[in-house]
Amino acid sequence: MPFPHFKADLPALSTEQMIEIDRAMIEDYHIELIQMMENAGRNLAILAKERFKALKIKQITILAGTGGNGGGALVAARHLANWGARISVLRTQDPAKYKGVPAHQLDILTKMNIDINTSPNEPELIIDGLIGYSLKVNPRGKAAELIAWANDVSAPILALDIPSGLSTTAQKVFEPAVKASATMTLALPKAVLFNEAAKIYIGELYLADISVLDGLYAKPPLNLQVANIFAKSPILYLG
């Protein structure tokens, strides 16, 4: 295992707590979304490289929604392509529907001439960045189609934060949901990851640093005691 096994108990975050963390990072500490997204995507690329030998395989397909998870997956696509991997990206929406930082990340890949929204050859690794933790209903449209496609392919799936189709907001697994070989969750684990019904969708569970400050966790309304969990590595294996 190339990453340290972190065995201590960690808080499990609700959607409301994640929203507060994002707010505090941006408004109180002026650590912007693009910085957090870059940290998430680079760590995702490193995990793909080390755990799934991504630079030695022929084809990686990135599934990218319009939100923060999609943006993080697009960052991973840039790093992996820059390291020599063969990348294709499948979007859930037309480029005009991508806004803010995810649109910025998509624009970079376009300028890099990354293969975007064409039918890929059979991939050897899929990276899931379709839907984030705040899902409230069953996935629909292109996102649902891509989840079903990914589950039908024999390639391993690496999910960002939570497998698409799981929801910390609803504390349940919606249909369809990605059945991941591994999940790299961000900052702290999300509560739904410990739901008994979710276990078969998560695979190996990793935790990655996106630069959330320990002092932020300790302040109200979070009041969480978290200290130096990434001292040994920015990516930790949880089990």
pTM as predicted: 0.96
**Res 2: pLDDT:** 86
Return d(Cα 208, Cα 161) in angstroms, integer: 9
Q: How far apart are CA 6 and CA 198, in angstroms?
A: 21
Residue 83 pLDDT > 70: yes
* 162 CB burial (10 A radius; 0-12, 13-18, 19+): buried
pLDDT at 1: 61
Q: Is the pLDDT of residue 44 over 90?
A: yes
Q: What is the CB neighbour count within 10 angstroms for residue 146?
A: 25
**Given a cut of 80, is residue 119 above it in pLDDT?**
no
CATH code for residues 32-211+232-237: 3.40.50.10260
Residues near 37 by beta carbon (within 8 Å), at least 6 away in sequence: 68, 71, 72, 75, 101, 105
Q: Report the mean per-residue pLDDT for the chain.
A: 94
